């Protein structure tokens, strides 16, 4: 996948496929997108099926549109700066139209230790925000917070025990 952003071609007198390509390039210049996202945006812009498919093919050949690379970057972003659980990331990618095979391949980069570290990092940051509360109230709020980010009960229990101690 290329790291430079595509520049839109000149569209004066261009055919429908060139106009669809130019519109797609402008979308991709803002942020990386899945093939399904670009297809949906081009449809909503009134482009016809054949020009859309021609533009998508060309973008793929030019290296600007690749669902596997998009999913890998999304997973990297979600485990780094905006942590969420594997299951939450899976739902996000599937909602963005990324094929299941690409999602599974990208999620294989997240091992159990990374998942636990991310949950602990989120819990610690949230614990500082909620301040001094009785341990049980803090445990309840942190549990709700982590569950809302897609972490399972077993992992939440382990992380909260590490952070707050054993509640007996």
The pTM is what? 0.78
Least confident of 31-35, 81-85, 109-113, 161-165: 81-85
pLDDT digits (tens, 9 = 90+) for 133-153: 888 999 999 999 999 999 999
Label residue 168 exposed, middle or buried (CB < 10 Å: 0-12, 13-18, 19+): exposed
Q: State yes or no: pLDDT of 132 exceeds 70.
A: yes
Question: Distance (Å, rounded) from C-alpha 74 to C-alpha 68?
Answer: 10
Distance CA 34, CA 73 (A): 11
The token duo for 61 is: 């050949």
pLDDT at 154 over 50: yes
CB 124, CB 138: distance < 8 Å = no
Q: How many CB atoms lie within 10 A of CB 128?
A: 8
* Mean pLDDT estimate for the chain: 88
Q: Read off the pLDDT band of 6 (50, 70, 90).
A: low
pLDDT tens per residue, range 68-110: 999 999 999 988 877 889 999 999 999 999 999 999 999 998 8
DSSP category for residue 8: P
Token pair belonging to 134 = 């009785």
Q: Is the pLDDT of residue 63 over 70?
A: yes
Q: From the CB of residue 24, how many other CB atoms can be counted at a distance below 10 Å?
A: 26
Predicted pLDDT of residue 167: 57
């Amino acid at each position: 996948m290329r790291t430079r952003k595509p520049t839109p071609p000149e569209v004066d007198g261009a055919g429908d496929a060139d106009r669809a390509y130019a519109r797609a390039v402008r979308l991709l210049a803002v942020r990386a997108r899945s093939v399904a996202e670009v297809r949906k945006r081009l449809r909503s812009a009134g482009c016809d099926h054949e020009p859309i498919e021609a533009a998508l093919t060309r973008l793929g050949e030019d290296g600007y549109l690749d669902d596997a690379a998009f999913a890998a970057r999304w997973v990297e972003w979600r485990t780094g700066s905006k942590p969420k659980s594997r299951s939450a990331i899976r739902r996000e990618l599937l909602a963005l139209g990324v094929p299941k095979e690409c999602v599974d391949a990208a999620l294989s980069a997240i091992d159990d230790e990374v998942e636990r570290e991310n949950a602990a990092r989120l819990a610690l940051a949230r614990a500082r925000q909620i301040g001094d509360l009785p341990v049980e109230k803090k445990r309840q709020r942190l549990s709700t917070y982590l569950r809302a980010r897609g972490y399972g009960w077993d992992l939440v229990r382990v992380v909260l025990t590490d952070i707050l101690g054993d509640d007996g």
